[in-house]
Structure 1
Amino acid sequence: MILKKANVLIVDDDPDVLTAVKLLLKKEVHEIITEKNPENLHVLLQRNAVDLIFLDMNYNSAINTGNEGIYWLRKIKEWKPTACVVMITAYGDIDIAVRSLKEGANDFIVKPWHNEKLIDTIKDLLDKREGVKSTSVALKGKAGTTFILGESDVMLDIFHKVKKIAPTDANILLLGENGTGKDLMAKAIHEQSLRAKFPFIKVDVGALTDTLFESELFGHKKGAFTDAREDRQGRFEEAQGGTLFLDEIGNISLQQQAKLLTVLQNRQVTRLGTNKAVDIDIRLICATNLPIHELANETRFRKDLIYRINTVEITMPPLRKRKEDIAVLAQHFANLYADKYMKPAVEFDSAALQKLMAYAYPGNVRELQYAIERAVIMADEPIIKAEDLLFSILESQPVSIDQDNVPLSAMEKNAILRVIDKHSGNITKAAKELGLTRTALYRRLSKYDI
């Protein structure tokens, strides 16, 4: 939408804010509607065609819950589900503002704001509402050492969300299948944060025994246990001032969860072998390949810990759900490995691109990366052809029926993936070979999220 055609509603009980925004946007938008009392929101939305709503987080109203903005946001979404809402907040309320994103807000701005930033926010949201696609295809860390490529809508949405939450101290839970780039995303968030100059410490907590868990995360004193020959800082202390990334958080035991929760609540760690507590100041990012509803099972994971680590949740999509990114990722990896192995620049012929697009990628971006590395190494010409592309047998090999512990559903899913790949994505041919109707095959594709 052209900015000049937009109708903007600002709801704030501070008349100075209303005046400032009205003066700023007077020549930028079609109409500005200002309102001090959120109680009048319903009538205003009924009487006016509003394209964008700026909503303050706090009012001197009867609700007086401390997060009134959330209340009125929910009301707006109830009255007008498609409404585009930007929350206005003070720096001290950033945690609530971040929560508003989970409640359906499109963005938030912090008072005092930069005028150019406010106008850019309006332009970006209105363009997005009208389907104008961003030209940005990478989320980059400030240090320039980490970036994530993507031009699909789902990735552009994630990039936008990350740019809003990275500068805050909100704890983040990264969800997604193996190989989707959760560790890379965690590093990119750190590099975009205000803690970028401090350490980024990663720990694969799912691989730690109970004893190693405490020693690795909290540290120990000399003599605390066998082989503790010297004092050692834990990962929490190593990450002081920076970011601690706990990977595979869904695999830790209930006992480990209780110890972790205590540290996060108290913001202190106590090394094994001592009673002295050490204050910690870290930003926490966690990741797991388990779906959030599985984590919510109290027999497996404590809900109070989920709430503590999940201020903001980001789900990294599987590659099969971001097909638009395959070509750009493939070319990026081709350039990377051509340079690494001192080969001339390489490109893909049309048949190779078709093969890349047709594959299901059970190993996600990681599998694509390794496939391109092999292709670059083996290619005799600067053009990668379809026959140069071989996908991992670890991902595509048949599941043996002799494996007693493999569920039937996994065998069926694997068989479907192999046959679809064999027929280059042709559903009719794949269904025929599997002995299914097209409708039955589509039902199974939906069932297994293929």
Structure 2
Amino acid sequence: MSPLDDPAVTPLRVAVLGAGTVGTEVLRLLEQQRDDLAHRVGARLQVIGISVRDRTKDRGDHVDPALLTEDPHALVREADLVVELMGGIEPARTLLLEAMAGGASVVTANKALLAQDGAELYEAADAAGVDLHFEAAVAGAIPLVRPIRESLAGDRIQRVLGIVNGTTNYILDAMTRTGAEFDEALASAQRLGYAEADPTADVEGLDAAAKASILASLAFHTRVGLQDVHCEGITSITADDIAAARRLGSVIKLLSIVERIDDEDLGERISARVYPAMIPATHPLASVSEAYNAVFVQADAAGSLMFYGQGAGGSPTASAVLGDLVSVARQRVHGGKGPGESNYASLPIAPIDELRNGFYVALTVDDQPGVLAAVAGILSSHGISIATIHQEPIGASPEAGGVAGRDVRARIGIVTHTAAESAMSTALDDLSTTAAVVAIDSVLRVEGE
């Protein structure tokens, strides 16, 4: 008998915490697809309450005002399944711990909470014998968490590299297409709704770093917290950097990279990092435009896999939330439990200084004989070899101390071969104190070669 008609099948009670853009879309899909979802789960999903901060706010036709509550603690105690879409650390953390202690399985899109307190949440879920699912926490609608956690559970993942923040990708794409400076591109992203009024978490790389910590934890069976992720944002990227990348046949993208490192002396370690980098225009990630996300997973047996799609937005994120909700609901109906935390490997985290990368370095120098040789000499003294070098004059005005009609400064763009991060850091210190070097304008890693 169909679960729609069988009175013996008890509906599953669903509590929804948060009714913003994503929460409202989840509620719309639950209503619109209620019969299909009941068939897929084996029982009806009954929303018993929606936790909000302000019950008087109009939330549209798909949010029943009678279900709104400002007491989320009472709500989670009555639920079989809790969907957390509030964001932030508290009260979300406390509510999820209460829900799991009371026997409710949890679906969350809260990457910041998982990056900070994922270990505690996993332990709580394991102790209570319930599920904790979070597909929507990384890359929106793109199925990424489940493939890494389940589909590739029999493989050995070596590297995960990708674009996991739509806001920064939109900004960098706009700068590339239009030649705009960062502030102009950010303002455009805010007008179009791609960036928040306070974009700090996005443009400083914090959002991407939280996702990198989740991906590293899953891929390498090791607890990786936000504090373990090296993080740099895109606020220092200029139109000159974009132009330099184009001249070199490259583009600039904010990349999240987690990888396994095998070292003869130090053994096996892992790295998790987020930073803007130049990648060749021929690389598949170079063509990822606007607010889209794309992620490469490299595994021993499966080889290279690419996941691409919308990484944010109400409907895409709600799709991932509903997928998780169906999974945990099925397990509730048919018995069993989904995968929990796997942290058996406990691999050490390699600090950024111990890694090796190619670099792009832009310098403003006095345009005089011997400068290039001096710069090359400093790099060479730290074991850094130059792959390419480009110089162009900068005209100086008399007001700036220059001579009219005479170039007195130049901009040098250098691409290095692979070098140690620590060596580059020391070389930059030496360059900054070199008399002929007026300024170190930009330092970017080069990836994807």
Fold equivalence (TM over 0.5): no
Band the TM-score falls in, shorter-chain normalisation: under 0.3
* TM, length-normalised to structure 2: 0.24
Greater relative contact order structure (CA < 8 Å, 6+ sep): 2
TM-score by length of 1: 0.24
